[in-house]
Amino acid sequence: PIRPPTTATDRPHQSPSTTATDRPHQHQSRLVSLLSKRRQKRHVRRHAWGNMAFSKMVLKWRLIGEGYSSQLTIQDQRHIIRLAFRMWSEVSPLEFVEDTLSPLEDVDIRLGFGTGRHLGCNQKFDGTGREFAHAWFLGDIHFDDDEHFTAPNTGSGISLLKVAVHEIGHVLGLPHIYRTGSIMQPSYLPQESGFEINWMDRKAIQHLYGGCKGQFNTVFDWIRKERTQYGEVVIRFNTYFMRDGWYWLYENRTNRTRYGDPVALQVGWHGIPTDGVDACVHVWNRNTDAVYFFKGTQYWEYDDGKDQVLTVDPEGHRYPRLISEGFPGVPSPIDTAFYDRRDSYIYFFKGTNVYAFDVTANSLAPGFPRKITAVFPAVVPGDHPGGNIDASYFSYTHNAVFLFKDAQFWRVAAAGRSRDRWRRPSLPHNGLMPHREVGEQWFDICNVHPSALKV
């Protein structure tokens, strides 16, 4: 296919496209020219699977107008393809945005349906059966419209979602992978319900584009009391990571975020600021079971039962309230905060200081504020976040407190008869263990393009 030259700058390993007008007339040189051009084309086709195909992280895509399928509504086609891109975005640092306006040469990934000789492509489709799609290293994806493509969970046929995820994988640089469960297997396997990108395919794409990194506004375990059918009260918790205006539920047992996350804050949390919060604190002891969201100089209490913020607190104060009123002595805005059930203190962090707030006495604990380095000393000298903590989190899964800053975290050494102290009795109280990368313990927490956030 003769395409306008795309700039080589944003695509490594790309050779210039060729044009048909430069064919010679003399027979012998024509042979050589055809073969060299053939080889050039093959060089273009000669992909380098296994390499990152794009050097930028936000990629534009378009389902081209002359390439709509005749079997699904245009809306369905775009929805399915948008979902396919989102699935890759949920497990990689890449973000995708549909672009229906820019000149075609500025669109990174162009998709289209066709049959037989199609869309100027030099690889003909073979009709129904066998080959159902192909992808070109420069970002073109063609689907054989003679195939019976179907939307997810609708009847037999070939799942357009699965095929689209596979071909997008190629365009991003993945080769065929012969591994059970891999979406990059060459042959189509009828879609089991709820197909998702598995662990190894995630690592394969991250091997090309890197893992997902970024700061978090807050991380917390949401505790719920539920009653079983036998009337027993059961305590359940879920882990949430929040960043700016969106959040993920993190499934600790399966080492991944919930499929389909991130989601816009207002979808799941009603009444809190839609552009993000500074902290979430769950004060849970014999007398109190209250969840607070902090943002700027204000805070809200969340009503678990009604799944929305409270408008008035038990004493009749209207929410949102000023932090300085509800938590005297605590400055605002804060960087983050967490509640420590061992001493019933809320630890508020701001800059290089930490403010322990005694919820029982409703005042700062004696001797506070103090330096974070004093309250949470480094176990390894020099290995300490210093200040401006992004998030602090007590994890019920790990039974430990974590301080997050940028893409790293520090675990607070456990107190009492813990493994930490058994191994190293000399550990300082609340000492910070050496830092690790967030991505080493909480996997694949990836952004999607704002346009892909469901509101």
Partner 1 sequence: EKVFHSRDHSDLQIPSSHQAELITDKETAELFLSRYGFIRPVNWDEVQFEETTGISNDEDFTGEEDFLSGIQEGDSSLSRAETDDEDDGEDEDSPNPTESQAFISALREFQKVSGLSVTGVFDDATKVAMNKPRCGVPDKETEMDATDDAHDSTNLQALLPLLLTDPPEPSPTTATDR
Site for partner 1 in 54-113 (CB under 8 A): 70-71
Residues 165-224 that bind partner 1 (CB under 8 A): 166-167, 170, 175-179, 186-188, 192-196, 198-200, 203-204, 207-208
The continuous run of DSSP H or E covering 302 comes out as strand 298-303
Is the separation of the CB atoms in 341 and 320 below 8 Å? no
Of 46-54, 281-289, 381-389, 424-432, the window that binds partner 1 (rule: CB under 8 A) is: 46-54
Amino acid identity for residue 164 in this structure = A
| Min CB(155)–partner 1 separation in Å | 4
Q: Is 167 a catalytic residue?
A: yes
User: Residue 95 or 167: which CB sits closer to partner 1?
Assistant: 167
CA-based nearest residue to 403, from 219, 207, 280: 219
Sign of CA dihedral 109, 114, 118, 119: negative
Q: How far apart are CA 199 and CA 196, in angstroms?
A: 10
Q: Which of 5, 29, 46, 55 binds partner 1 (CB under 8 A)?
A: 46
Residue of the chain from 47, 78, 243, 282 that contacts partner 1 (CB under 8 A): 47
Return the amino acid letter for 273: P
Choose which of 19, 73, 255, 362 interacts with partner 1 (CB under 8 A): 255
Contact pick of 131, 289, 325, 383 for partner 1 (by CB under 8 A): 131
Binder of partner 1 out of 3, 13, 370, 421 (CB under 8 A): 13
Of 165 and 219, nearer to partner 1 (C-beta) is: 165
* Cα separation, 271 vs 250, whole angstroms: 22
User: For partner 1, which residue of 7, 21, 26, 156 counts as binding (CB under 8 A)?
Assistant: 156
Q: What are the angstrom distances between the C-alpha of 43 and each of 21, 35, 142, 167, 434?
A: 19, 12, 19, 19, 48
Told to check if 147 binds partner 1 by CB under 8 A, we report yes
Q: How far is the CB of 11 from partner 1 (least distance, A)?
A: 14
Shortest separation between residue 373's beta carbon and partner 1, angstroms:
33
State which residue, 30 or 225, has the beta carbon closest to partner 1: 30
Residue number, 174 or 281, with CB nearest to partner 1: 174
What's the half-sphere exposure (Cβ side, CA atoms, 13 Å) at 99?
Answer: 18
- Closest contact distance (angstroms) between CB of 9 and partner 1 is 18
Residues numbered 420-439 forming contacts with partner 1, rule: CB under 8 A = none
From 254, 311, 360, 418, residue interacting with partner 1 (rule: CB under 8 A): 254
Residue (202 or 350) nearer to partner 1, CB: 202
Of the residues 95, 147, 167, 301, only one is catalytic, namely: 167
Closest separation in Å from C-beta 178 to partner 1: 5
Q: Pick from 154, 397, 418, 451 the residue near partner 1 by CB under 8 A.
A: 154
Residue 325 parent element (H or E): helix 323-326
What is the nearest approach in angstroms of partner 1 to the Cβ of residue 236?
16
How would you write 360-396 as a 3-class SS string? Answer: CCCEECCCCCEEHHHHCCECCCCCCCCCCCCEEEEEC
Q: Which two tokens stand for residue 58?
A: 């936000």
With tokens 């050097």, the residue in question is 55
Does residue 380 touch partner 1 according to CB under 8 A? no
What is d(CA 189, CA 158) in angstroms, rounded to the nearest whole number?
9
CA dist 374 and 141 (Å) reads 57
Which of 140, 420 has the CB closer to partner 1?
Answer: 140
236 binds partner 1 per the rule CB under 8 A: no
- Minimal distance, residue 38 CB to partner 1, in Å: 7
| Separation CA 73–CA 334 (nearest Å) | 50
Q: Which amino acid is at 152?
A: P
Collapsing DSSP states into helix, strand and coil, what is residue 227?
A: strand
Tell me the sheet residues that pair with 357. Answer: 346, 364
**Binding partner 1 by CB under 8 A: which of 95, 140, 146, 420?**
146
Rounded Cα distance, 331 and 347, in Å: 12
Retrieve residue 174's tokens.
């993945």
351 sits near partner 1 (criterion: CB under 8 A):
no
Q: Which residues are catalytic?
A: 167
